[in-house]
Amino acid sequence: MPSPPPRPSSTSASPLGAGDDDEFFEAHDITVDPDLSDGTDSAAGDDGRPESTTSLTASLFDYRKIHGRTYQNSQTTEAPIDEEQAEGLDITHHFMTLLFDDKLSLAPIGDNPQHVLDVGTGTGIWAIDFADEFPSASVIGFDISPIQPAWVPPNLRFEIDDAQLPWTYPADHFDFVHLRNLHGGISDWPALYHEAFRCTQPGGHIEHVEFNIRTLSDIAPPDHIYHRWNALFAEAGERMGRTFQIYDQMRGYIEDAGYVDVVARTWKVPIGGWAKDPRLKSVGLYTLLFLDQSVEGFALYMLKSVMGWEFEEIQVLIAQMKEGWKQWKRWQPYYEIKLVYAKKPERSMPISSH
Ligand SMILES: C[S@@+](CC[C@H](N)C(=O)[O-])C[C@H]1O[C@@H](n2cnc3c(N)ncnc32)[C@H](O)[C@@H]1O
């Protein structure tokens, strides 16, 4: 078993999960910012959100520039996805990278990765940053939707393909296969991990990051909108046949595919700026920005096409949920992010016949 990875210093953590030495709940308890008001923040705007949204958007682009990204404008794509959704993906990339202490990957891939695959690459923002950071690597990002920018680092190539079909890549080829936030897009996860395993080099790694779409709160009452929302989308995912609960299953599926040295880590992430820790506070505010911006597109599709709701009913529910998130000082909502990485076993040595 590999030694446990160091924990980010930014989160207060206590190990959980008896018997799971390699599974850490990094932010088992989020320390609440003592400077928050008494929680009676139901009035619109009382949480300072409009101002924080404006400055967050500006600082997001500053951040991209500070980190030397030349191709930051990945949302100015002509692809048939609306700009808000694409921007949502880029905001998610930002706060996830922030959460991981500015690292693009936590798997022990070394400084010299060679052949890297990003499955369901979206706007390609992770692949672009990875290719920039590791000029040694030849990176391929593929997606079923053509929403990637044209201007990319020379060592990156985008392809359009369906991850649910047999992959066209050679066996034992990639030393790193990366997947992130594909929940709700895949109906047969074991088949997908099987393809990933086949295409991973012996000794190479897979890393999969997902967030749990459930909004949790230790203090909201059982009939709170958070809980109704969670139950609804769990049902919608199952009805659609593409579960959102891959979060709970990914570790087991990765092991079943044949990977070894599996390490799973989970973070508890605030929604809104209620954490005391500055990094977590920032992650929480970006998460809120992302949810505010992206929930409509996501919920409309799920509730209309999958659950058969009327447009007006959906609008009411979305408004209630947005209001619920906005009341983050009162309910201290959070969600969880899980990262699993693992290794394909080294090629076994031929057994001598003597
Ligand atoms: C939420 S986005 C995440 C994008 C990217 N991985 C990231 O973290 O920024 C999910 C992506 O998965 C893609 N996707 C869904 N089903 C897919 C499939 N069967 N094959 C390839 N890509 C798929 C979607 O088109 C979308 O771009």
- Give the CATH number, domain containing residue 232: 3.40.50.150
Q: Which two tokens stand for residue 291?
A: 């949810």
**316 vs 38, which has greater pLDDT?**
316
Residue nearest atom 8 in ligand 1 by C-alpha distance: 180
Q: Is residue 161 part of a domain?
A: yes
Within-domain flag for 8: no
Any domain includes 201: yes
Distances 151 to 75, 80, 128, 148, 156 between C-alpha atoms, Å: 12, 17, 10, 9, 10
What is the predicted pLDDT for the residue at 275? Answer: 95
pLDDT of residue 69: 25
Which of 92, 119, 140, 144 is the pocket-test mutation for ligand 1 (most atoms within 8 Å of CB)? 144
Give domain status of residue 224, yes or no.
yes
Residue 246: predicted pLDDT: 85
Report the atom number in ligand 1 closest to the C-alpha of 125. 9
According to the per-residue pLDDT averaged within each range, which of 58-72, 225-239, 295-309 is highest? 225-239
CA 134 to each of CA 14, 104, 112, 343: distance values in angstroms, whole numbers, following the listed order: 33, 11, 7, 20
185 has pLDDT over 90 = no
- Atom of ligand 1 lying closest to residue 145 CA: 25
120 Cα–ligand 1 center, Å: 4
Torsion angle (degrees, nearest 10) of CA 51, 57, 62, 64: 150
What pLDDT score does 285 carry? 96
Of the listed ranges 97-101, 236-240, 256-260, 269-273, the least confidently predicted one is 236-240
- Nearest to residue 268, comparing CAs of 30, 61, 34? 30
Domain annotation covers residue 53: yes
* Other Cβ atoms within 10 Å of 35 Cβ, number: 6
Say which DSSP state 305 is in: I
Cα 142 to ligand 1 centroid, rounded to whole Å = 9
Position 132: which residue type? D
Q: Output the CA 182–ligand 1 centroid distance in Å.
A: 5
**Model confidence over 255-268: pLDDT tens digits?**
999 999 999 999 99
How close is the Cα of 185 to the center of ligand 1, in Å? 7
**What is the total residue count of the chain?**
354
In the prediction, which pLDDT does 240 show?
Answer: 82
* Per-residue pLDDT at 348: 62
Alpha carbon of 90 to ligand 1 centroid (Å): 13
Residues with CB under 6 A from ligand 1: 89, 93, 120-122, 125-126, 143-145, 162-164, 180-182, 185
pLDDT at 30 over 50: yes
User: What is the value of pTM for the model shown?
Assistant: 0.82
Q: What is the pLDDT of residues 282-330, one digit of tens each?
A: 999 999 999 998 888 878 888 888 889 998 999 999 999 999 999 999 9
Rg of the chain in Å (alpha carbons): 21
Domain count, the chain: 1
Which of 137-141, 158-162, 349-353 is predicted with the least confidence, judged by mean pLDDT? 349-353
Is 162 part of a structural domain of the chain?
A: yes
Nearest CA to ligand 1 atom 27: 122
- Report the alpha-carbon distance of residue 266 to residue 16 in Å, rounded: 10
- For atom 1 of ligand 1, the residue with the nearest CA is 181
CA-nearest residue, atom 16 of ligand 1:
185
CB 256 within 8 A of CB 193: yes
85 CA to middle of ligand 1, Å? 12
Query: For 109, what's the count of Cα atoms within 13 Å in the CB-facing half-sphere?
Result: 28
pLDDT greater than 80 at residue 73? no
Answer whether residue 319 is part of any domain: yes
168-197 b/e with 16+ CB inside 10 Å = b? Answer: ebeebbbbbbbbbbbbbebeebebbbbbbb
Range of the domain at 182: 23-343
Pocket test for ligand 1, best of 77, 128, 182 (most atoms within 8 A of CB): 182
Cα→Cα distances 330→99, 252, 273, Å: 23, 36, 11
In a domain, 38, yes or no: yes
pLDDT at 196: 98
Pocket test for ligand 1, best of 143, 158, 179 (most atoms within 8 A of CB): 143
